[in-house]
Chain A
Amino acid sequence: MTQNPVQTEAVVEARSLVKTYGKVEAVRGIDLSVRPGEVFGFLGPNGAGKSTTISILCTLIRPTGGRALVAGIDVTRDPGAVRSRIGLVFQDPSLDDQLTARENLEFHAFLYDVPRSERRERIDGVLEMVELHERAGSQVRTFSGGMKRRLEIARGILHYPQVLFLDEPTLGLDPQTRNRIWAYLHELRKREGITLFMTTHYMDEAEFCDRIAIIDHGQIIALGTPDELKAMVGGDVITVATREAAAAADQIRHAFELEPNVERESVRIEVSDGASFVPRLVRELTVPVSAVTLSRPSLDDVFLKLTGKAIRDEGAGEMDQMRVMMSRWSRAGGRR
C-alpha cells in the first residue's frame, strides 16, 4: 500500500520561488515541501508575501522565478490540471449570495465535473459536515459571515481536491465561530485525509498546524512543528514575584547556575522543563515569594525572537478590520 507515489511525494513543493512587482520583491526565494495529509501553516504579518505565495501555488499569478509543483504538476506548465486538483477558500467571500447554498454548490460541482450520479450525495455530505443542510435552500444573502465561510469550505472540498488552500479562513470572524471552523477543518482532515495549506496571522491558530513556516519580508525565516519552533526560544518561562528580587536572583544563581532576568519585583528565568523545575525552585528559595508563574513560549515569542518585532506591530489588525468593514458596507449599499 505504500508504493503509491501520491502518498510519498510532496503534495506541494516550491523551489526558490520569486515574485517581483516592478522593483518590489513580494516573494524572495521560497523553498518548502508539504507532505500528504499534513496541515501546513503559513504564518506572517500582512504584506509578508503569504497571499502572493498562495496565489502562485493556486495558479492565480505566475512566479517571476523558481518553480512550484502542486500534486506533482508544474503550476506554470499546466495550470488547468493543478486547478482541478486543488480546492480554494478565499480571504474574501466568493459566493453568489442571490443563489441558495445548494445552487452555489451545484454550480461548483458542475464546473469541476463531479459526476452527475454523485453530485447530489456529495453536496448533501458536505452540507451536513458544515451543519448547513437545513439551510440548503436559503439564499446565501441571509447567511451570517461564519455560515458563509463554512459554505465556502464545503464548496472547496466538494470535488475531492488533493490540497485545500485556505487564505486566512477565519479572518474577521468572532472567536466562537473561529473555533467551530477549526473543528470542521480537523474533522475534514480526519475523514478525507486531505492536505490543508493555510495562511494566517493569528498565532493561536497556527498552533493547530502540523508544521508552520514563518514568513517575513518575502522569505521563510523558520520552518518546523509548533514545538520545534517554540524550542527555539529556549524552553519555558518562569516568573517569580518577590519583594526581594535581588536576593532571590542570588539564590537561583547559586543553586541552579542559571542567569535570571531581574526586574523590580520579579525574576524571570528560561528553563527547558518548567513543570519539574518549579518544585525544586520553591524548595531552594528562602526569600518570601508571593507568586510563581510558569508559561510556555507562544509562537508570538518565536516571532518576536526571530524578527525582533511582534507579529501585529504592523497595523495588520486595523487593515483587516477596515477591509471587513468596507466589504460589509459595499454589500449593504451596493446591492442591486
Chain B
Amino acid sequence: MTVETIHAARLRRRQAVNIRTATVRAIYMIWRRDLIRFWRDRTRVVGALVQPLLFLVILGTGLSSALRGAGGGTFRAGLDYTTFIFPGIIGMAVLFSSIFSGMSIIWDREFGFLKEVLVAPIDRSAVAIGKTLGGATQACIQGLVLLVLAPFVGVKLTPLAVLALIVLIFCLAFALSAVGVSIAARMRSMMGFQFVLNFLVQPAFFLSGALFPVTGLPAWMTVLTRVNPLSYGVDAIRRVVLGASGVPAPVLDRLSMTIGGQVVPIWVEVAILVAFGMVLLVVALLNFRHQD
C-alpha cells in the first residue's frame, strides 16, 4: 500500500465530527483548562485573599468601634459590625474573581489561544458557556475559602449552612462571571479594563449592601441597590450566615433586602441571580457568534 492509500483509508474511517457533542466536550475542556490554570497559579489565589482581609480586619474593627461609640442603631442589638460585613466581603471576593476570570478571555485573545478554540469544529457558544462556568467555579472557590475566617468574626457555621452557601455562592459567581464574559466578548484589548473596574465593579460593590444595610436609604440609592445583582447575593449569604450564628429573626429581617417594604425570600433572590446570569450568558453567546 502506498502512503496515499494508507491516508485515504484513515480518512474513510474518520467520521465527521458531530458538532453538538463536540461543543459539549469543548465546554468541559474550557472549564477544565481554567481550573488547571487556577490551580497552577496559587499565588493569585492567595493574593486574592489580601483585599478581603484588609476590609474585614481593618475596616471591620475600626468601624465596629466607631459604631459602638456612636450608639450604633442596628448594631446595638448584639450584632458586631465585623460579623455584619463578613458576608459582604465574601460577596466582594466573588465579585472581583468572577469579573476577572470572565475577562480572562481578553488575555486568551491577546495571546492567541482563543483562536485555537474559535477555529475548532465546535459551536462558539462553547467559549461563552465554558468560560462562564470556569469563572464561576474559580470565584466560588475564592468565596468559600473565606469561610475559614468565620470563627474569627463571630460566625458559627453548621454543615447545612455551608451546603446552602456553596449553592448560593455558585449562583452569585455564575451571574457575575456571565457579566465578565459578556463584556470581554466585545473587548479587543486590556485598555478598557480599568474603565470596567472603576465604572462597574467598584460601584457594584459599594451599592451591594456589603458594608451597610440597604434599608432606609434615599430613593436613588435604593433603586441602584435593587438593580445590582450582587445585592441579592450578599443578602442571601448574609441571611444564611447570620441565621446559622443565631441572630434572631426580627434583627435579621430589619437588615434584609426589601422590595416595596416586603422582605425578599431567599429563593426569589436565587431565582433573580440565575435569571440574570442566563440573560447575560445569552448576550455573551450572541456576541461570540457574530464575530469573524
Q: A94-B113, A108-B116, A336-B41 are in contact. Are A7 and B25 (CB under 8 A)?
A: no
CA distance A192 to B10 in the complex (A): 10
CA distance A80 to B107 in the complex (A): 25
Chain A minimum-CB-distance residue to B118: A60
Binary B-proximity of A106-148 (CB < 8 A = 1, otherwise 0): 0110111100000000000000000000000000000000000
Would you list which residues of chain B between 1 and 25 have a CB under 8 Å from chain A? 1-8, 10-12, 14, 16-19, 21-22, 25
- Report B-chain residues with C-beta under 8 Å of the C-beta of A103: 33, 36
| Overall SS of chain A's interface | loop
Identify which of B76-84, B119-127, B251-259 touches chain A.
Answer: B119-127
CA distance A99 to B34 in the complex (A): 10
Task: Judge if A331 is at the interface, Cβ distance under 8 Å.
Answer: yes
CA distance A336 to B100 in the complex (A): 11
Contact A93 B37, beta carbon cutoff 8 Å: no
- Report B-chain residues with C-beta under 8 Å of the C-beta of A191: 3
CA distance A93 to B40 in the complex (A): 21
Q: How far is the CB of A110 from chain B (nearest CB, A)?
A: 5
Contact A84 B16, beta carbon cutoff 8 Å: yes
Task: Judge if A288 is at the interface, Cβ distance under 8 Å.
Answer: no
Q: A107-B29, A111-B22, A193-B3 are in contact. Are A96 and B16 (CB under 8 A)?
A: no
Task: Judge if B26 is at the interface, Cβ distance under 8 Å.
Answer: yes
CA distance A334 to B191 in the complex (A): 12
Contact A111 B112, beta carbon cutoff 8 Å: no
**Total interface residues on B, using CB and 8 Å?**
45
- Report B-chain residues with C-beta under 8 Å of the C-beta of A192: 3, 7
Contact B111 A83, beta carbon cutoff 8 Å: no
Contact A80 B121, beta carbon cutoff 8 Å: yes
CA distance A174 to B289 in the complex (A): 38
CA distance A78 to B19 in the complex (A): 11
Q: How far is the CB of A138 from chain B (nearest CB, A)?
A: 13
Contact A96 B121, beta carbon cutoff 8 Å: no
Task: Judge if A24 is at the interface, Cβ distance under 8 Å.
Answer: no
Contact A83 B33, beta carbon cutoff 8 Å: no
Q: How far is the CB of B251 from chain A (nearest CB, A)?
A: 42
Q: A93-B112, A98-B40, A110-B25 are in contact. Are A83 and B10 (CB under 8 A)?
A: no
Task: Judge if A240 is at the interface, Cβ distance under 8 Å.
Answer: no
Binary A-proximity of B92-122 (CB < 8 A = 1, otherwise 0): 0000000000000001101111111111111
Task: Judge if A4 is at the interface, Cβ distance under 8 Å.
Answer: yes
- Report B-chain residues with C-beta under 8 Å of the C-beta of A108: 116
Chain B positions near chain A (C-beta within 8 angstroms): 1-8, 10-12, 14, 16-19, 21-22, 25-26, 28-29, 33, 36-37, 40-41, 44, 107-108, 110-122, 190, 292
Chain A positions near chain B (C-beta within 8 angstroms): 1, 4, 6-7, 36-37, 58-62, 80-81, 83-85, 88, 90, 92-99, 103, 107-108, 110-113, 155, 160, 162, 190-194, 330-331, 334, 336
A83-B120, A96-B113, A98-B36 are known; give 11 further A-B pairs, CB within 8 A. A6-B12, A59-B119, A80-B17, A80-B19, A81-B16, A107-B116, A110-B28, A113-B17, A113-B22, A160-B11, A190-B3
For this complex, 28 residue pairs linking A to B, each with C-beta atoms less than 8 Å apart, are A1-B2, A7-B8, A37-B4, A60-B118, A62-B292, A80-B17, A80-B19, A81-B16, A84-B17, A84-B121, A92-B115, A94-B114, A96-B33, A97-B111, A98-B40, A98-B41, A99-B37, A103-B36, A107-B116, A110-B26, A110-B28, A110-B29, A111-B22, A111-B29, A111-B117, A160-B14, A191-B3, A336-B107
